[in-house]
Amino acid sequence: MMNTTDFNPEERAGWEQIWRSGDIPPVYRSFAAPNKTVVAWAETIPPGGFILDIGCGVGRHVVYLGEQGFRVAGVDISPSGVRLAEEACAAREIVFDGRVTNMTTLPWPDMTFDAALSTSTIHHQLRADVVKTLLEVRRILKPGGLFLVDFPCTDTITYQELRGQVTAGEIIEVEPDTFVDERPVSEDSDAFLPHHFCDEGDAHDLLHAFEILKLWPDLHEGVTWSGSGTVGKWVAWVRRPITD
């Protein structure tokens, strides 16, 4: 993978530097297996529904969803990510509407989509922008439209590690529970982006504009740079209220 210093500051947005490097983590590659939660969630969407992937990266989930017969669209702030997603979809003869844009401004009319998802993405913003993104998602969903989203959980070793790094002066907490690593080279490839963590109350508050169908901490034992412990996220299945 290219060193972060090989990129202009403007390119340190989203995962542009990672998608351009050619050294893409296997789990995020275009033809990688989908997240198991995405598979289960997709089974609840009407056949042929139109789905938007927010933070689509190089197309891992739009490829899977397109192969299940859904119409698919995606947004990412990374031009290289969207280009690679387009190429992957073309290789599988999937029609894909990919747009390069910030998550807080989704370039589709109101009530366009039957469903939307955002995995491992929406938390890479300040909390106010997470709120803006969620309101945009609500806007572009049809009444009753489904949304799958996850947020990093505060009850994890990952969160405790970041708190320790703040205390040590290695990274900064730009607002409560939102961390940024401004060092040129870091333990994590995406540490230069904001990472907003949630407890259950914060997750409920962020999702107040939706009807929450399921919300749970998807936690398990894992190994991080400082050792082993609990890792994982809050996962939510929600929908735009049918009566809108």
pLDDT score recorded for residue 7: 33
pLDDT score recorded for residue 167: 97
How far apart are alpha carbons 7 and 25 in whole angstroms? 19
How many structural domains are present in the chain?
A: 1
Does 244 reside within a domain? Answer: no
CB 125 within 8 A of CB 196: yes
pLDDT score recorded for residue 4: 30
Q: What is the pLDDT along the chain (244 residues), one digit of tens a residue?
A: 222 333 344 445 678 888 888 888 899 999 999 999 999 999 999 999 999 999 999 999 999 999 999 999 999 999 999 999 999 999 999 999 999 999 999 999 999 999 999 999 999 999 999 999 999 999 999 999 999 999 999 999 999 999 999 999 999 999 999 999 988 766 567 888 899 999 999 999 999 999 999 999 999 999 887 789 999 999 999 999 998 7
Does 86 reside within a domain? Answer: yes
pLDDT score recorded for residue 2: 26
How far apart are alpha carbons 235 and 224 in whole angstroms? 21
The secondary element (H helix, E strand) that includes residue 140 is: helix 127-140
pLDDT score recorded for residue 22: 80
User: Within 10 Å of residue 154's Cβ, how many Cβ atoms?
Assistant: 19
Does 151 reside within a domain? Answer: yes
CB 152 within 8 A of CB 123: yes
Does 209 reside within a domain? Answer: yes
CB 184 within 8 A of CB 5: yes
Cα-trace Rg, the chain? 17
pLDDT score recorded for residue 186: 61
pLDDT score recorded for residue 8: 42
List the one residue out of 78, 63, 76 whose CA is nearest residue 19: 78
Does 74 reside within a domain? Answer: yes
pLDDT score recorded for residue 47: 96
Question: Distances in Å between the alpha carbon of 8 and those of 27, 43, 200, 219, 232?
Answer: 26, 42, 37, 36, 32
Domain span holding position 129? 4-239
pLDDT score recorded for residue 187: 58
CATH number at 32 reads 3.40.50.150
Does 177 reside within a domain? Answer: yes
Per-residue b or e along 54-68, where b marks 16 or more CB atoms closer than 10 Å to that residue's CB: bbbbbbbbbbbbbeb
